[in-house]
């Protein structure tokens, strides 16, 4: 029976090769998109799952009045381990983003993510260096490992991963160190590094004021996390009071600790952004919708073809075939089409994959041995076969022999409404994608053209190892750089305005304490970045006090304190250091457009600030290459610690990376809009052919009675026009809600425009009229005699 069904299926598919091609082609394209989305979803949700302790690891974070953070102090973890039996292990780590070179006779690598952690943290995260994980013997021992990739670059002949000597910094610095071996850096882990340093104990001698470590705990399976979270918070409050915290401080009262599972850290950390999660969910929904639209297309065309199969079903039923057997036959036909579409989908996905990897900066592969796609694809095949095939099979197998053999066949009203409803649904999704794409384009255009408050163009950031704690230490370097023709200004700071979150401290003005971001700068910082002054002045060498106790606030900081006349007021910061406010600058968007401008204080001398290492210089555009070439040749003399390692980046490119997530979303919506429109037009084309064929005699009669071609085109297009119009009316509220929610994630955004809604309606209506008219053209121009003659 299966062999007979297969033969009949192949014969029918070949006989209706046009519709078959449209069905398979639409499904293949949708499946290619769905396969890529499935691979990406599996990758993004699989971080750290190889860790045997995956479900029992939590990071301890703090909820402060103004923000959340995953940083805590080392003593907290030690106290938790000593007092809470449900905590199996406590690991403490700290990431250093201070980039420095290490060298060997074979080359140089630059380490930008050096992870410092204790032995318990390394064991908790299943970190296994070459030669096994060793426990440092004393607090002074440091086991330093390079990632396999970096180790191979420096020591290509050492296959065993044994210890080696390396140079640190420039070759002329003479600083050396010892690496203990190599280690595999799992790219599919939240604990990303290019080198690690394992110590016996982290934060020795540091108290509760050093909140710059990450504390992870491993709990016993089945632990009540809510109860444990409350215990950890109680310990934290108690220890802070012991450390001298004022119990009446309202900020201390509002501060709480929380536990965030390891599985949340990549996509939805409590202390961080969930942008990755939103992008993944949007991409997943788009992939599912595209596949559903393709299945709808398949269902619609199969029902439309029902008339051609009616007599076949009638004869088979008269000959004794059961409905179940007929359903199996039709499902076999659909399974064959879905199988071919799956193979074509894999081929298309393989072709598109390099561009997809480049867009999302991943390295996915369809053909890896451990790919989840091998078990997911059969499930996808069964899913689409059932979704696209069950209803058509039930409709086709349900025809009554007595009626269809008399030629009295017509599809039911339910099929008619279903067919039209599915077409409306297809175009509704297409309209949502088109509207979303146009609004995303508008927001991105706004982000690229809006004044961000500073000018990163022609500003070069030079990577540097030297710490410039005071202006007197930076002045010799500054003077050498400033003498190069084409250099307009030079400055140094502890951070670059590229979207990085700066450190925060508590500052008090007029008895009011607030949390401010602190930025330690050098002279000419505001001039180099062309940051506008609102009132007062910027730092100047003419005022000796500027290097000691002067500060500048931004507008957001002034607003937070509610100051009306800030110039000359005193602001007290870390270690009770007092500053005199000498100026107020206008807000500038260092964090991009998604986050509001942080209230920030700028000073030249901050005892609690990060070291000033970031050199920035403004260069004349016409002399950019000349200046960079001169800097490279003179750098060993200008900055001996860096020596021959002259590296730079353009600040506008660094700032532009803040738009990457939205540009990804733009690309995804562009592809989704194209795919949905293409699939919908394919279905519309075949559907219009079916409708036109069914009205061939009606058209002939109308032509004989004097109807013009334009009137006939209007007749055929009218029903499709109404359906597409209904699709627009249905989709507009949904598109409005979705795009408004997306725009609400921006602190600085456009007002929701009406033009994209009008444009999506005009585009879909135009495409519908063109598609239907092309298909109806043959019937309109045909000779009425050919359509009306009986024999």
Residue 281 lies in a domain: yes
Residue 365 lies in a domain: no
Radius of gyration of the chain (CA): 34
Number of structural domains found in the chain: 3
Together in a domain, 560 and 594: yes
Together in a domain, 733 and 697: yes
Q: In this predicted structure, what is the pLDDT of residue 791?
A: 46
Domain boundary residue, one of 642, 658, 674 = 658
Q: Give the mean pLDDT of the chain.
A: 83
- pLDDT of residue 703 exceeding 70, the answer is yes
Together in a domain, 141 and 188: yes
Q: In this predicted structure, what is the pLDDT of residue 215?
A: 94
Q: Which range among 312-321, 589-598, 724-733 shows the weakest confidence by mean pLDDT?
A: 312-321
Q: In this predicted structure, what is the pLDDT of residue 559?
A: 93
- pLDDT of residue 290 exceeding 50, the answer is yes
What's the sign of the alpha-carbon dihedral 601, 606, 609, 612?
A: positive
Together in a domain, 290 and 251: no
Together in a domain, 563 and 668: no
Together in a domain, 191 and 326: no
Q: What are the contacts of 409-415 at 24+ separation with CB within 8 A? A: 409/307, 409/310, 409/311, 411/303, 411/306, 411/307, 415/303, 415/306
The mean per-residue pLDDT over the stretch 470-485 comes to 89
The mean per-residue pLDDT over the stretch 486-514 comes to 87
pLDDT tens digits, residue range 214-232?
Answer: 999 999 999 999 999 999 9
Q: In this predicted structure, what is the pLDDT of residue 429?
A: 87
682 by Cβ neighbours in 10 Å (0-12 / 13-18 / 19+) ranks as buried
Q: 730 to each of 296, 432, 481, 604, 760, how far by Cα in Å?
A: 18, 10, 62, 58, 13
pLDDT tens digits, residue range 262-279?
Answer: 999 998 999 877 778 888
- pLDDT of residue 748 exceeding 50, the answer is yes
Together in a domain, 292 and 170: no
Length of the chain: 791
Strand partners, 164: 179
Residue 619 lies in a domain: yes
Q: Which range among 78-87, 505-514, 774-783 shows the weakest confidence by mean pLDDT?
A: 774-783
Q: Which alpha helices (H) appear in 51-139, and where do they start and end?
A: 74-83, 119-124
How many other CB atoms sit within 10 Å of the CB of residue 158?
A: 17
Residue 2 lies in a domain: no
Q: Label residue 56 by pLDDT band (50, 70, 90).
A: very high
Together in a domain, 387 and 518: no
Residue 224 lies in a domain: yes
For residue 760, give its domain range: 275-337+382-447+660-788
Together in a domain, 486 and 435: no
For residues 178 and 166, is the Cβ–Cβ distance under 8 A? Answer: yes
Tell me which residue of 148, 94, 140 sits closest to 121, measured CA to CA.
94
Together in a domain, 228 and 300: no
DSSP letter string over 649-679? EEHHHHHHGGGHHHHHHHHHHHHHHHHHHHH
Together in a domain, 418 and 293: yes
- pLDDT of residue 5 exceeding 60, the answer is no
pTM, full prediction: 0.80
- pLDDT of residue 779 exceeding 90, the answer is no
How many other CB atoms sit within 10 Å of the CB of residue 663?
A: 15
pLDDT tens digits, residue range 585-642?
Answer: 999 998 888 889 999 999 998 877 778 888 999 999 999 999 999 999 888 888 877 7
Residue 5 lies in a domain: no
- pLDDT of residue 83 exceeding 90, the answer is yes
Residue 344 lies in a domain: no
Domain boundary residue, one of 235, 264, 293 = 264
Domain boundary residue, one of 619, 635, 658 = 658
Residue 362 lies in a domain: no
CA dihedral 730, 735, 736, 740 (to 10 degrees): 160
pLDDT tens digits, residue range 151-180?
Answer: 998 998 887 777 888 888 777 777 788 888
Interatomic CA distance for residues 28 and 234, integer angstroms? 57
DSSP letter string over 619-637? E-GGGHHHHHHHHHHHHHH
Percentage of the chain beyond pLDDT 90 is 29
Together in a domain, 762 and 700: yes
pLDDT tens digits, residue range 351-397?
Answer: 999 988 888 888 888 877 556 777 777 888 887 777 766 766 666 65
For residues 659 and 447, is the Cβ–Cβ distance under 8 A? Answer: yes
């Amino acid at each position: 029976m299966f062999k007979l069904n297969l033969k009949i299926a192949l014969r029918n598919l070949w006989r209706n090769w046009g519709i078959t091609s449209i069905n398979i082609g639409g499904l293949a394209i949708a499946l290619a998109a769905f396969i890529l989305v499935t691979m990406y979803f599996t990758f993004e949700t699989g971080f750290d799952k190889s860790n045997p302790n995956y479900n029992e690891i939590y990071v301890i974070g703090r909820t402060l009045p103004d923000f959340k953070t995953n940083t805590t102090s080392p003593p907290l973890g030690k106290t938790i381990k000593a007092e809470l039996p449900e905590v199996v292990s406590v690991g403490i780590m700290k990431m250093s983003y201070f980039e420095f070179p290490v060298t060997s006779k074979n080359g140089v690598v630059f380490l930008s993510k050096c992870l410092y952690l204790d032995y318990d943290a390394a064991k908790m995260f299943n970190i296994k260096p070459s030669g096994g994980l060793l426990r440092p013997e004393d607090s002074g021992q440091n086991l330093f490992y390079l990632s396999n990739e970096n180790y191979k670059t420096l020591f290509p002949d050492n296959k065993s991963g044994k210890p080696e000597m390396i140079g640190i910094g420039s070759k002329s610095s003479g600083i050396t160190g010892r690496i203990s071996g190599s280690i595999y850096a799992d790219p599919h882990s939240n604990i990303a590094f290019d080198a690690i340093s394992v110590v016996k104990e982290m934060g020795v001698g540091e108290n509760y004021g050093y909140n710059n470590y990450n504390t992870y705990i491993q709990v016993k399976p089945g632990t009540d996390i809510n109860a444990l979270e409350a215990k950890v918070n109680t310990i934290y409050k108690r220890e802070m009071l012991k450390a001298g915290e004022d119990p009446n401080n309202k900020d201390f009262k509002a501060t709480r600790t929380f536990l965030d599972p390891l599985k949340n850290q990549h996509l939805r950390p409590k202390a961080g952004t969930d942008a990755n999660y939103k992008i993944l969910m949007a991409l997943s929904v788009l992939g599912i919708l595209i596949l559903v639209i393709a299945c709808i297309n398949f269902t619609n065309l199969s029902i439309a073809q029902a008339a051609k199969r009616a007599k076949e079903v009638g004869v088979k039923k008269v000959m004794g075939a059961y409905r179940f057997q007929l359903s199996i036959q039709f499902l076999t036909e659909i399974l064959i089409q879905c199988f071919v579409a799956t193979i074509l989908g894999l081929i298309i996905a393989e072709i598109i994959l390099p561009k997809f990897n480049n867009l999302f900066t991943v390295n996915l592969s369809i053909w890896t041995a451990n790919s989840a796609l091998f078990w997911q694809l059969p499930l996808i095949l069964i899913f689409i076969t059932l979704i696209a095939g069950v209803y058509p099979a039930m409709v086709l197998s349900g025809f009554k022999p007595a009626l269809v053999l008399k030629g009295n066949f017509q599809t039911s009203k339910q099929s008619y409404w279903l067919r039209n409803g599915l077409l409306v649904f297809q175009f509704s999704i297409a309209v949502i994608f088109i509207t979303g794409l146009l609004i995303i384009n508008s927001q991105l255009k706004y982000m690229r053209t809006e004044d961000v408050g500073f000018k990163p163009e022609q500003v070069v950031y030079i990577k540097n190892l030297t710490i410039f704690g005071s202006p007197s230490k930076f002045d010799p370097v500054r003077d050498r750089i400033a003498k190069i023709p084409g250099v307009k200004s030079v400055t140094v700071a502890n951070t670059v305005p590229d979207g990085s979150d700066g450190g925060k401290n508590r500052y008090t003005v007029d008895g009011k304490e607030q949390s401010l971001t602190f930025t330690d700068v050098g002279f000419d910082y505001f001039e180099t970045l062309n940051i506008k002054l609102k009132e007062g002045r910027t730092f100047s060498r003419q005022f000796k006090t500027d290097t000691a106790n002067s500060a500048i606030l931004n507008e957001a900081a002034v607003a937070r304190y509610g100051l009306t006349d800030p110039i000359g007021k005193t602001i007290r910061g870390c270690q009770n250091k007092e500053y005199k406010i000498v100026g107020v600058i206008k807000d500038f968007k260092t964090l991009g457009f998604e986050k509001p401008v942080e209230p920030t204080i700028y000073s030249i001398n901050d005892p609690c600030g990060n070291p000033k290492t970031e050199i920035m210089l403004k260069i004349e555009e016409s002399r950019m290459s000349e200046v960079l070439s001169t800097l490279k040749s003179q750098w060993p003399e200008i900055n001996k610690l860096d020596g021959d390692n002259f590296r730079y980046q353009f600040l506008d490119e660094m700032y532009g990376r803040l738009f990457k997530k939205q540009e990804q979303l733009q690309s995804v919506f562009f592809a989704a809009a194209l795919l949905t429109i293409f699939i919908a037009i394919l279905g519309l084309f075949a559907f219009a052919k079916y409708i036109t064929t069914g009205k061939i005699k009606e058209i002939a009669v109308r032509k004989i009675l004097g109807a013009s071609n334009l009137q006939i085109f209007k007749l055929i297009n009218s029903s499709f026009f109404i359906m597409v119009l209904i699709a627009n009316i249905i989709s507009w509220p949904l598109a409005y809600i979705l795009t408004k929610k997306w725009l609400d994630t921006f602190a600085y955004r456009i007002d929701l425009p009406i033009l994209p809604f009008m444009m999506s309606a005009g585009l879909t209506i135009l495409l519908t009229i063109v598609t239907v008219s092309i298909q109806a053209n043959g019937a309109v121009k045909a000779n009425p005699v050919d359509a009306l003659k009986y024999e």
